[in-house]
C-alpha cells in the first residue's frame, strides 16, 4: 500500500533581494519565523558579502518576527559591521518596529519609516 506524502504547507513569507544604487536591498514580507530564518540568513549573508557598501533590509511588509529570524538579522548586522558596511532597516510603526525598539536593536542599526528614506541614506 502506497502512502502519499503530506501536502506541503504554503510559505507564509517571502525574502527577496535586489541590487540598487549604493546598497543591496533585501525585502521581506509575511511571517519571519523558524521556517523563514534559513532563507533570511542566506540572503542577508549574500548581501553582506556583496560589493555594495550598504544593506537595506525592508521589513515594512513583515507581520511577525520570532527569535530565530531576529537572530539572523543580528548576525547579519554583525557581519556587515565587520566588513565596514552599514545596515539600514525599514520598519513602519507597529509590532515589528516595537520589537526592534524593545530589544534595543534600534541602537545597533538605523531604522527608517520608509524604503525611500533608507535608500536615500544608503546612497548619501
Domain with residue 112: its CATH number is 3.30.750.24
| pLDDT tens-digit readout, 70-96 | 999 999 999 999 999 999 999 999 999
In a domain, 83, yes or no: yes
In a domain, 9, yes or no: no
In a domain, 80, yes or no: yes
Helices (H), the chain: 37-49, 67-82, 95-102, 115-123
pTM for this model (two decimals): 0.90
Per-residue pLDDT of the chain (124 residues; tens, 9 = 90+): 556 555 556 789 999 999 999 999 999 999 999 999 999 999 999 999 999 999 999 999 999 999 999 999 999 999 999 999 999 999 999 999 999 999 998 888 899 999 999 999 999 8
Domain count, the chain: 1
Q: Which residues span the domain enclosing 39?
A: 15-116
Rounded CA-CA distance 40/43 in Å is 5
Residue 11 has what pLDDT? 84
In a domain, 50, yes or no: yes
Amino acid at each position: 500500500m502506497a502512502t502519499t506524502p503530506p501536502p506541503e504547507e504554503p510559505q507564509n513569507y517571502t525574502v527577496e533581494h535586489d541590487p540598487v544604487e549604493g546598497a543591496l536591498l533585501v525585502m521581506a514580507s509575511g511571517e519571519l519565523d523558524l521556517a523563514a530564518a534559513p532563507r533570511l540568513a542566506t540572503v542577508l549573508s549574500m548581501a553582506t558579502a556583496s560589493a555594495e557598501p550598504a544593506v537595506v533590509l525592508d521589513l515594512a511588509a513583515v507581520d511577525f518576527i520570532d527569535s530565530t529570524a531576529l537572530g539572523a538579522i543580528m548576525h547579519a548586522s554583525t557581519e556587515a559591521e565587520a566588513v565596514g558596511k552599514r545596515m539600514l532597516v525599514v520598519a513602519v510603526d507597529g509590532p515589528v518596529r516595537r520589537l526592534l525598539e524593545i530589544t534595543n536593536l534600534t541602537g545597533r542599526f538605523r531604522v527608517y519609516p520608509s524604503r525611500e528614506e533608507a535608500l536615500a541614506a544608503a546612497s548619501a
